[in-house]
Structure 1
Amino acid sequence: MASPPAQRARLRPVARLGRALTAAVWTGRAGPPPPRPRRLAPRVPGFLSLLPFRTIDLVLVADLVLAFILFRAVQALMRDESLYMATPLDEGEIAFIAVTSSLPLALRDRWPLTAWRLAVVLIPWGIATRGQDLEAAFSADAVIMYLLVVYAVAVRCERHVIIGVWTVSAAALWILGIQSGPNLPGVMLIGIAMVTVTVLFGYNVQARRTAAGRLAEEERRSEQALAGQAVLEERARVARELHDVVAHHMSVIAIQAEAVPLKARGDARMLEEGLGEIRALSLAAMTEMRRVLGVLRDGDGRTDTAPQPSLGRLDELAATARSAGLAVELKLGGDLLELPTAVDLSAYRIVQESLSNAMRHAPGSAVTVKISRSGDELNVHVADNGGDRAAAEAAKAGREKHTGHGLIGMRERAAMLGGSMWAGPAGKGFVVTAILPITEEA
């Protein structure tokens, strides 16, 4: 007697086939139609601008035209063949038989799986209405319609649905071959082969489209990552230059403002000269600040008016960090969609600065970003492992030597919201933890 695992192993193919048949007949859904190239979806001419659509789907138009041709051809054929039938068909029966060969074709572009299910029902019904033998199943109109519908399913549906569609088609053709006369089984085998080739061709087209789409998406993400990295590097450079400008000039101005009154000792001329020097230093500082901030203006001289970043753009931030060599893992918990603007922006900036520090001091490290909401608090935790063993000690030493202007800015952001922040080494890596209160005033 077979063991339970062996029995389950034998039942798995049967269960998979059952799910495939259920998906094909009832539960399956087709994917969205692929975007049409411009040659298959030209724009509507100007004199037809009042139409509710802006492009003409030539594939859909071709399906409708072919469906109409089949409808009229079957009507004409049935009117001629009805002369040789024992019971001539009336116009209603002829119209119904024509619909069985044309309606699924008209629906296959928008609803391919529905069109196939309809074809599976209508073809036998149409044969019964004709009152002929099973050779009517292989009339040219039925073959053209069914193969086109099966191709649409193979191009738009998932693999298990396609397997179910092929299984139902092959089984139906096999049953027709068994119940027919001695001349039809060979024809049925040809029909199964035609359906199989159509399914394989359609699935191959789908696989190629999927691969091309993924490649285009990867190229787009790569370009965005490179652009984001360039922006991050440029903004870091601007921040460093701006810090140097402000720190240097403001320090000198503060010293001059304190020293001039002592030096002048009531002498108006010396006091005036000292104030002039302070004014010159101020103008020089403003000039340099304008030069540094000028890179944040676009080509038309307008300032950057892009919306402030938020936690909703963490994926982009992580993608930029990954392109720089970090292995970033995001772990988000709680409702992060309706945070106050100040909390949302501060949390984003803390994560951004932490990732920037990891890029500078621990290149190639694995970084874990955890953001969770607990009651009225937002917890931000960013930790890295320090990179490889050889670079870990150098990274730690560099961080301890670094003055930490970015860390100061993060602490100020947390303190502004009434929260707290801790940053320091942990093992071979570095950890930044911030707790930001969530208040309506934030």
Structure 2
Amino acid sequence: MTSVKERPPALFAGASRRWVRLLPWGVAFVLCVALLPTTVQVLTADYGLHGGIASALAVAQAAPLLLAVVRPLPAWYVIFAADVSGALALLTVDFEGRLLWPFPPMEIVGYVGLCLALGLRERRRTLLLVWLATAGANVGLEFAVPAGSSSNGMLLTILSGVALLLAGALRERSEAQRRLVEQETISEAERDRRTLLEERARIARELHDVVAHHMSVITVQADTAAYRLDEVPPNVQEELTSIAATARESLGEMRRLLGVLRSEETRGELAPQPGLTQIGQLVEATVRAGMPVEFTRCDAEVPEAVGLSAYRIVQEALANVVRHAPGAPTHVSVSRDGERLTVLVVNDPPPEPPAGPLEVGGTGHGLVGMRERVRLVGGTIDVGPLPDGGFRVAARLPLTGEDFT
């Protein structure tokens, strides 16, 4: 099975605007249409070259400019050979000394345009070789300058070098900017991934504390059942002993897992994890900081994992209000609706637009943690701005065990 070689893209093919993508084709078309008849006219009328030879040279010097939009290096091979051949062909005719040799003006225009296309596509080494070939050909032609004629080979050498240098510098700058954008995109994705992993590790530690509490209760209840209950049958006592041993073993495994997840810098997380009852304290602390917050309390019994997620969602939402809408009236509501806990944090627009963010170095990834917490407990979250300029965070967390699966 043979593979088809992919055609290289045209110059500026990756531009977002259509007119920029069409610009190289338009310039090449204008140059081709303008230079083709002009070259034939000048070579025949002014220099006295045979019409057939002049036409062939004109086509070889102008038509490849269209090819240069896609493949500038093959186009250079053709035009360079045609220009040198044209200079040698002019040595066979007797033309006036006032005319330039070896390259008439229209050939210089076409060659400089070709050099611009080369600089936008090829690497430094190729550009250097092209310029050395141009300079070498001009040096060689200097030895054959007709008597009384003015040579413009040096002019072409300088102009082609400038065109190659400017276009090459523009290409390298564009590539550097593209690589910078790609690197920033990769870095942003990596930051999102790291934030997500850190939040998952934190949730794992917190859920471990919740589960560890229940496992400890199971162990204690199983161990003390024989002392709290009268006349426990031996088979039941054996079963309770087995349950206590299994619970202790599981608790030890989870503590070892927690030792892996926790680092030396996270000793503060050994404190009991907050829940619904601590949301009021969180709101009071925000009010003392100068934020007008109204709180609708919910005293329902909920699973500890759900209460912890609700606390963290309110904590992050209030922190965002302080950062981005200082002084905005805010309403926090936690209510139970059947088998779901609804957490709602809504803030109005700030009284005065803040001059700038209170935290310059913020990552803006707090919403990632919110969504991850809600997803891990099987809930849903709706986050977004309001028409009046405020902001709304609404989460619904399941309370039944089936919803956690």
Instruction: Say which structure is richer in helix.
Output: 1
Q: Choose 1 or 2 for highest CA Rg.
A: 2
Q: Normalising to structure 1: TM-score of the pair?
A: 0.45
Q: Normalising to structure 2: TM-score of the pair?
A: 0.49
